[in-house]
Amino acid sequence: MCGVAGCVALQPALAAPSLDGVRAMVGALRHRGPDEFGLYRDARAALGHARLSIIDLATGQQPLCNEDGSLWIVFNGEIFNYLELREELLALGHRFRTRSDTEVIVHAWEAWGERALGRFNGQFALALWDAPRQTLVLARDRLGVRPLYLAEQDGRLWFASEVKALFAGAPALARELDPAGLAETFTFWTPVAPQTVFRGIRELEPGHVRVVSPLGVTDRPFWTPSYPERREEVRPGTLDELAGQVRAALERAVRLRMLRADVPVGCYLSGGLDSSLVAALGRQVQGGRFCTFSVRFESAELDETPYQRELVARIGSDHRELVVARRDVAEAFPAVVAHAERPLLRTGPAPLFLLSGLVRQAGVKVVLTGEGADELFGGYDLFREGKVRRFWGRQPASTCRPRLLERLYPYLARSPVAQRAMAQEFFGRGRERWDEPGFAHQPRWRAAAALQRLFDPGFREEAQRLDVVARLLGSLPGPFRRWSPLAQDQYLEVRTLLSGYLLASQGDRMLMGHSVEGRFPFLDTEVMDLACALPDAAKLRGLDEKHVLKRAGLGLVPDRILARTKQPYRAPDAVSFTGPDAPPWVGDVLSGEAVGRAGVFQPRAVERLYRKCLDGEGRGPLSNADNMALVGVLSTGLLHEALLRRPPQAGAPLEFRTVVDRLAAPAGAGARGDACRSRSG
């Protein structure tokens, strides 16, 4: 895993990009790739790279080029099927100097152009510079596992793996929060690409390629999710046959991610079905030492230790545990927000940030996780809730149908279905519109959007000028209404929460905060395509979530884990910041002066919220709304202080192993290919 950065002049008359600016960008990404650093520059473009060595440790440094030095790349991620693609390219006459997947991308682009992107089974963000054609290509994997941000300033396009790198390389960029991005965050829990929370900065959408050439700029998808539109498109087979296909595909995905690495690969273990399946399959692949890592919580409501230890006993892994108290969450939170680069409504990323530190201390650079299984196989209560509410909506006067709501959220101390009348009022709103897009998500979106009442009036007016829900629903793909209701719900969950929050705030950013690469077998192209094609009843059988996945785990995962009710990963939220051991920074960020300086929230409203949370300490769990509100206000304030108010910190100077500066090279060097041979910087 790595960090990429760069700049391209949009007009030929502009002066060459500054190497110092790109050096600063790479410096801001050193946590993503602490092993090697490299630069490339010519009259129009500059590329930078920070490398975490995983594959081809000796010769895989970047920027990397083709044989004649005409095509250059910086790349963040892994292409897991690169060896198979390499054999195809060798048969076509391509010649390789390294064993890296990065070089395979270069030759694949030469051979197949944009079609190559659809053939990659991997997780990536990349920038290709075609010097003779003066063309920049930016691309991002199917679901946006790896980030890529863009900004235009003074006739130049800047791009980087993280926003802090854009600020470091282009200090004249506006440092302001975008009300539309905050409105999306306080609705969907995340901005939805291309929207970000920073004014003037965009995020390349997952599954998209942007081409910047003398002919202009194009931005289009190379992949979009697809679900069955007709009965004959659904994957045929009995439940047992389908479970066998799922298990076989997942076995191949785990094996591919275990073996395509030159360093040891470990696994996260939550104690739930998804990570247990991945860990058990990983153990089969790796016969020697196999490390697993778990978070434990002091709170019994959140802790899953018994299930974690049962799986460890079954597979015999070298297991490491991290016990997280609420004080730990509070102390880590400023660093968590600085890495996430967006406001958070939950503290879930904090324990995962601490866990990646434990992984790195154990000498492990790569971990597998179970991310994506819930979205692809129907694991969330939201999917069950949507099914019940639609069932109710078809007979809105029924008194029996809404009783099914009581089977949801059994793991919550303050379950939203605990009080029948309140639950039916909350979940019954709008039930007559059960066949409209976004129906299943509306309760969650409404609950989060209600927090915007804390916004400063002027900020709220600008934030609500755009109806973010209408914008999202207006961008749905053409076939959306021809998909089943479950497929529609899955698509929206992937588009919003998975890509923008789980793979970003809880995934890539928390892992890379300690220079650890995450790999996600459930997001393998074969597994994803199979999951999307399954009949709904295989995923959500009645109200039994992930039914086919449970069948796939028979004999592999302990029965107690297969039978347990889905318990989403959660961490201590507002209570982390309200106890007697809360760190001093909490009061500083919530002070009227700091809140007013950020300009997002009303200082008095924040003061009332904080007092309510302090007064509620020891009286039982806070409401879901108060939890999200306090975490959201704190994280927004921390973000403003860390990325917008303070200038970027330069850090210690980097030693660049690879520097190719065509403006300083002898005339004709590029034509002879000399520019491909790096020199120490």
CATH number at residue 349: 3.40.50.620
Task: Give the tokens for residue 563.
Answer: 């039978």
Measured distance CA(264)–CA(407) in Å, rounded: 42
Residue 475 covered by a domain? no
Proportion of the chain above pLDDT 90, given as a percent: 77
Asked whether residue 402 falls in the same domain as residue 546, the answer is: yes
Asked whether residue 112 falls in the same domain as residue 168, the answer is: yes
Which is nearest to 47 in space by CA: 137, 152, 111, 164?
A: 137
Residue 473 covered by a domain? no
Residue 451 covered by a domain? no
The lowest-confidence range among 254-258, 603-607, 665-669 is 665-669
Residue 633, domain extent = 574-645
Asked whether residue 171 falls in the same domain as residue 263, the answer is: no
Exposed e or buried b for every residue in 373-409, given b needs 16+ CB within 10 A? bbbbbbbbbbbbbbbbbbebbeeeeeeebbebbeebb
Domain stops at, among 572, 587, 621: 572
Which is nearest to 487 in space by CA: 376, 615, 581?
A: 376
What is the phi/psi pair of residue 46, to 5°? -140, 135
Which is nearest to 2 in space by CA: 127, 104, 86, 96?
A: 127
Sequence-ordered list of residues with C-beta below 8 angstroms from that of 286, at least 6 positions apart, any chain: 258, 265
pLDDT at position 403: 81
Asked whether residue 15 falls in the same domain as residue 121, the answer is: yes
Sequence-ordered list of residues with C-beta below 8 angstroms from that of 611, at least 6 positions apart, any chain: none
pLDDT-derived band at 412, boundaries 50, 70, 90: low
Residue 461 covered by a domain? no
Asked if residue 572 has a cis previous peptide bond (ω within 30° of 0), the answer is: no
Measured distance CA(270)–CA(285) in Å, rounded: 20
Contact 571/348 with Cβ under 8 angstroms? yes
pLDDT at position 178: 97
Query: Is 351 buried (19+), middle (13-18) or exposed (0-12) by CB count in 10 A?
Result: buried
Residue 38 covered by a domain? yes
Report how many domains make up the chain.
3
Residue 32 covered by a domain? yes
Query: Is 355 buried (19+), middle (13-18) or exposed (0-12) by CB count in 10 A?
Result: buried
Asked whether residue 16 falls in the same domain as residue 120, the answer is: yes
Asked whether residue 247 falls in the same domain as residue 300, the answer is: yes
Exposed e or buried b for every residue in 534-558, given b needs 16+ CB within 10 A? bbbebbbbeeebbbbbbbbbeebbb
Q: What mean pLDDT comes out for the span 252-281? A: 95
Mean pLDDT of the chain: 91
pLDDT at position 408: 78
Which is nearest to 264 in space by CA: 248, 249, 286, 279?
A: 286
Three-state DSSP state, 188: helix
pLDDT at position 56: 67
Asked whether residue 268 falls in the same domain as residue 359, the answer is: yes
Contact 60/53 with Cβ under 8 angstroms? yes
Q: What is the pLDDT of residues 442-472, one digit of tens each?
A: 999 999 999 999 999 999 999 999 999 999 9
Question: Which three-class secondary structure string do you get for 395-437?
Answer: CCCCCCHHHHHHHCCCCCCCCCCCCHHHHHHHHHCCHHHCCCC
Counting every residue written for the chain, the total comes to 681
Question: Which three-class secondary structure string do you get for 454-483?
Answer: HECHHHHHHHCCCCHHHHHHHCCCHHHHHC
Which is nearest to 163 in space by CA: 25, 47, 22, 52?
A: 25
Task: Give the tokens for residue 680.
Answer: 């120490």
Q: What is the pLDDT of residues 487-516, one digit of tens each?
A: 999 999 999 999 999 999 999 999 999 999
pLDDT-derived band at 421, boundaries 50, 70, 90: low
What is the phi/psi pair of residue 540, to 5°? -120, 90
Contact 524/249 with Cβ under 8 angstroms? yes
Q: What mean pLDDT comes out for the span 296-325? A: 93
Residue 450 covered by a domain? no
Contact 291/271 with Cβ under 8 angstroms? no
The lowest-confidence range among 113-117, 480-484, 649-653 is 649-653
Domain stops at, among 519, 540, 572: 572
Measured distance CA(445)–CA(422) in Å, rounded: 18
pLDDT at residue 568 greater than cutoff 90: no
Proportion of the chain above pLDDT 70, given as a percent: 93
The lowest-confidence range among 44-58, 152-166, 468-482, 586-600 is 44-58
Which is nearest to 644 in space by CA: 353, 338, 427, 351?
A: 338
The lowest-confidence range among 271-280, 356-365, 572-581, 587-596 is 572-581
The lowest-confidence range among 118-122, 483-487, 612-616, 648-652 is 648-652
pLDDT at residue 25 greater than cutoff 80: yes
380 or 17, greater pLDDT: 380
Measured distance CA(551)–CA(559) in Å, rounded: 11
DSSP H or E stretch at residue 490 = helix 485-493
pLDDT at position 17: 81
Contact 425/446 with Cβ under 8 angstroms? no
Pairing verdict, β 318-324 and 291-297: parallel
The lowest-confidence range among 100-109, 230-239, 650-659 is 650-659
Half-sphere exposure of 428 (CA within 13 A, CB side): 17
pLDDT at position 392: 87
pLDDT at position 669: 38
Q: Which long-range contacts (CB under 8 A, 24 or more apart) does 101-105 make?
A: 101/55, 101/56, 101/75, 101/260, 102/60, 102/62, 102/64, 102/73, 102/75, 103/64, 104/79, 105/73, 105/75, 105/79
Q: What mean pLDDT comes out for the span 89-115? A: 95
Measured distance CA(253)–CA(625) in Å, rounded: 39
pLDDT at position 619: 60
List strand residue ranges (DSSP E) for 302-416, in order.
Answer: 318-324, 366-368
pLDDT at position 419: 65
Measured distance CA(225)–CA(532) in Å, rounded: 8
pLDDT at residue 671 greater than cutoff 50: no
Three-state DSSP state, 158: strand
pLDDT at residue 630 greater than cutoff 90: yes
Asked whether residue 168 falls in the same domain as residue 242, the answer is: no
Measured distance CA(574)–CA(577) in Å, rounded: 6
Known catalytic residue: 2? yes
Q: What is the DSSP letter of 676?
A: G
pLDDT-derived band at 665, boundaries 50, 70, 90: low
pLDDT-derived band at 655, boundaries 50, 70, 90: confident
CATH number at residue 667: 3.60.20.10
pLDDT at residue 94 greater than cutoff 60: yes
Asked whether residue 215 falls in the same domain as residue 329, the answer is: no
Which is nearest to 40 in space by CA: 652, 663, 668?
A: 663
Half-sphere exposure of 532 (CA within 13 A, CB side): 17
Q: What is the pLDDT of residues 28-49, one digit of tens each?
A: 999 998 888 999 999 999 999 9
Residue 483 covered by a domain? no
Q: What mean pLDDT comes out for the span 565-570? A: 83
pLDDT at residue 218 greater than cutoff 90: yes
Q: What mean pLDDT comes out for the span 316-336? A: 96
pLDDT at position 639: 97
Q: What mean pLDDT comes out for the span 74-95? A: 96
Measured distance CA(189)–CA(399) in Å, rounded: 32
pLDDT-derived band at 677, boundaries 50, 70, 90: very low
Q: What mean pLDDT comes out for the span 529-535? A: 97
pLDDT at residue 670 greater than cutoff 70: no
pLDDT at residue 422 greater than cutoff 80: no
pLDDT at residue 675 greater than cutoff 50: no
Asked whether residue 546 falls in the same domain as residue 608, the answer is: no
Pairing verdict, β 71-79 and 122-130: antiparallel
Measured distance CA(343)–CA(138) in Å, rounded: 26
Asked whether residue 270 falls in the same domain as residue 151, the answer is: no
Q: What mean pLDDT comes out for the span 250-273? A: 94
Asked whether residue 187 falls in the same domain as residue 267, the answer is: no
Q: What mean pLDDT comes out for the span 327-334? A: 96
Domain stops at, among 545, 572, 599: 572
